[in-house]
Amino acid sequence: MAAAGGIVQASQLLGVSQQSEDLTLLLGALAAVVVGGVSLAGGRGNVWAAVIGGILIGSIQNGLDLINSRRRCSGS
């Protein structure tokens, strides 16, 4: 699973860099896990709940990209 996640992340960034400062992928992954119901303290949750959370967060991010929310928020 970790290898597949690394491949997906590298394809999104169009390369691999040691100095990557893009924390939006990390924040999205944490949000997906929390939305899926996995406890940050550990011991609770399952993989399928995290997958459902990832799908939900991905759908929300896709919808925001489709309506150009970044450009609207920046005032450009």
37, 49 contact by CB (below 8 A): yes
Per-residue pLDDT of the chain (76 residues; tens, 9 = 90+): 777 777 776 666 665 555 555 667 777 788 888 888 888 787 777 888 888 888 888 888 888 888 877 666 665 5
**pLDDT at residue 19, as a whole number:** 58
The rounded radius of gyration (Å) of the Cα atoms in the chain is 14
Residues sharing a CB contact under 8 Å with residue 55, sequence separation 6 or more, in sequence order: none
- pLDDT tens, position by position, 13-29: 665 555 555 667 777 78
Ramachandran area for residue 29 (φ above 0: left; ψ -120 to 50: alpha; else beta): alpha
Whose tokens are 């924040």? That residue is 27
User: pTM for this one?
Assistant: 0.60
